[in-house]
Amino acid sequence: MKTAVYPGSFDPITNGHLDIINRSLRIFDRLVVAVLENKDKNPLFSTQERVAQLKEITKDMGNVEVRSFSGLLVDFCESVDSKIIIRGLRGVTDFSYEFQMALTNRSMDNDIETLFVSADTQYLFFSSSMVKEVAHFGGNIDNMVPPSVKEALKKKFPNLV
Ligand code: ADP
């Protein structure tokens, strides 16, 4: 059984993330979505909230597991018996950081492969930070996030309807 790991902050999950998950599931038998416990990034949603949101959204998707992790990603991959890391690319601006991360992870474990997946063009410009900014000012985020995430954002941003 081929397992891949899709790590990220998912603060919050967007339709771009969901598209990457769906595309990865066409390639791998099992996908572990790994929510980073990014303490110093001051996330809007707690790790527990982000894991719960992702579990709810992916519950009918088949072989998706949602876990949280801290520490080295290569150690997390080992713990779920995977050598494959999935990352999304939105364009050249993502590339230099992602490439550096991929090579750093491989320097720690030569068997690790990072695969880059691009989302459908309609989702390509979505990012969690942009969603939060639009939501903060009460803009329309209906096409950017799943309905359950919009409901969660409404509780954080009173301007959002
Ligand atoms: P991180 O803090 O690790 O970048 P994110 O939740 O922002 O976590 O993103 C997780 C992964 O999903 C990253 O590889 C990012 O490039 C990718 N990603 C996020 N949004 C999109 C999108 N709209 N299209 C393609 N990839 C995306």
Average of per-residue pLDDT across 136-149: 96
Give the CA dihedral 56, 59, 64, 69, nearest 10 degrees: 20
Average of per-residue pLDDT across 88-113: 95
Is the pLDDT at 41 greater than 80, yes or no?
no
Task: Please give the distance, rounded to the nearest whole angstrom, from the Cα atom of residue 30 to the centre of ligand 1.
Answer: 19
Joined tokens for residue 54:
């992702």
CA end-to-end span of the chain = 43
- Smallest CA-to-CA distance from 35 within 58, 54, 19 is with 54
Task: Please give the distance, rounded to the nearest whole angstrom, from the Cα atom of residue 25 to the centre of ligand 1.
Answer: 16
Confidence of residue 93 (pLDDT cuts 50, 70, 90): confident
Is the pLDDT at 157 greater than 90, yes or no?
yes
pLDDT score of 48: 96
pLDDT score of 20: 97
Average of per-residue pLDDT across 35-54: 91
Handedness of CA 16, 20, 21, 23 (dihedral sign): positive
User: What is the CATH number that goes with domain 3-124?
Assistant: 3.40.50.620
Task: Note the pLDDT tens digit of each residue in 63-82.
Answer: 999 999 999 999 999 999 99
Instruction: Compute the distance between CA of residue 95 and CA of residue 102 in angstroms, rounded to an integer.
Output: 10
Phi, psi of 86 (to 5 degrees): -100, 130
Instruction: Compute the distance between CA of residue 127 and CA of residue 145 in angstroms, rounded to an integer.
Output: 10
Average of per-residue pLDDT across 87-92: 92
Please say if 50 is a catalytic residue: no
pLDDT score of 62: 85
Is the pTM higher than 0.75? The answer reads: yes
| Closest atom of ligand 1 relative to the 129 alpha carbon | 7
pLDDT score of 21: 97
> Is the Cβ–Cβ distance between 157 and 135 less than 8 Å?
yes
Domain boundaries, the chain: 3-124
- To test the ligand 1 pocket, which listed residue (10, 13, 20, 32) has its Cβ within 8 A of the most ligand atoms? 20
Please say if 17 is a catalytic residue: yes
> Is any atom of ligand 1 closer than 6 Å to the C-beta of 16?
yes
Query: Mind spelling out the 3-state secondary structure of 100-132?
Result: HHHHHHHHHCCCCEEEEECCCHHHCCCCHHHHH
Q: Where are the alpha helices (DSSP H) in 3-159?
A: 15-27, 47-58, 73-79, 92-108, 128-136, 147-156
Residue with the larger pLDDT of the pair 41 and 51: 51
pLDDT score of 40: 72
